[in-house]
Amino acid sequence: MQLLVTRPREEAEGTAARLRGLGHAVAVAPMLRIAPVAPLAFPVRSFDGILMTSGNAARMLDGHADLQRLRAWPVLAVGKRTAQAAAEAGFADVVSAEGDAGDLARLAAARFAGQQPALLYLAGDDRARDLPGALRPHGIAVETLVVYRAEAATGLPPGIAAELQQGRIEGVLHFSQRTADIFLACLNGAQAAAARRATHYCLSQRVAEPLQAAAWPGIRVAPRPDEDSLLGLIGH
């Protein structure tokens, strides 16, 4: 199957490699470009742990003067890929919620039950869920630090636009509601007509909402909001 992955490039390349290993042909068209926030200044206070909802947060720490200090704190990551990025950044105590931000909030609430901890959330500038708000009723204080920006694409790469318009792309993978919105905005009339004929694989119901609002057919939603479940929809 000829597939298109729309997540930011570094994450997209990992997904593409997995799909190619399953025998698919894969193109990558990132709908977001990840850029670091500079200068990046971390709070001087200590925290009981770090929250990450994207591997981009861990990658933004590379070479930072405070990285060694941050590595002393445990990391609670939203999923397997984010946990892997944190481990690659040198964090020794990393646990994955294996899901979405709601699962991460539940993991944090269980891990710090009765402790009233202070957590540092390393985040992007655009966040789909209010993680600090979800943890506040559990007595968990969360300080959010924006460490990267996600800049929207303004169009599809020419080669991929041509493949899409010619009907060669059979499936498109969507990992966030924002990238699904941007994908729709990047299409001209002919591209949209062709894209409607493809199957659209969405990480969650929330991710699928922009496509459903546009009354697109061929939408499939992963039973769990993780990459393994999404790829399981596609098969071999």
DSSP string, 158-199: HHHHHHHHTT---EEEE-SHHHHHHHHHH--HHHHHHHTTSE
> In 3-state terms, what secondary structure has residue 9?
helix
Give the pLDDT score at 10.
Answer: 87
Element housing 231 (H / E): helix 227-234
Exposed (0-12), middle (13-18) or buried (19+): which is 91, by Cβ within 10 Å?
Answer: buried
Give the pLDDT score at 235.
Answer: 73
Dihedral-angle region of residue 218 (phi above 0 means left; psi in -120 to 50 means alpha; beta otherwise):
left
What does the pLDDT profile of the chain (236 residues) look like in tens digits? 999 999 999 889 999 999 999 999 999 999 999 999 989 999 999 999 999 999 999 999 999 999 999 999 999 999 999 999 999 999 999 999 999 999 999 999 999 999 999 999 999 998 878 999 999 999 999 999 999 999 999 999 999 999 999 999 999 999 999 999 999 999 999 999 999 999 999 999 999 999 999 999 999 999 999 999 999 999 75
Spatial separation of the C-alpha atoms in residues 194 and 198, rounded to whole Å: 7
Give the pLDDT score at 123.
Answer: 96
Residue 129 CA: distances (Å) to CA of 75, 114, 168, 196: 19, 24, 35, 28
Whole-prediction pTM:
0.83
Give the pLDDT score at 236.
Answer: 58
Name the nearest CA neighbour of 147 among 59, 15, 29. 59
Give the pLDDT score at 43.
Answer: 95
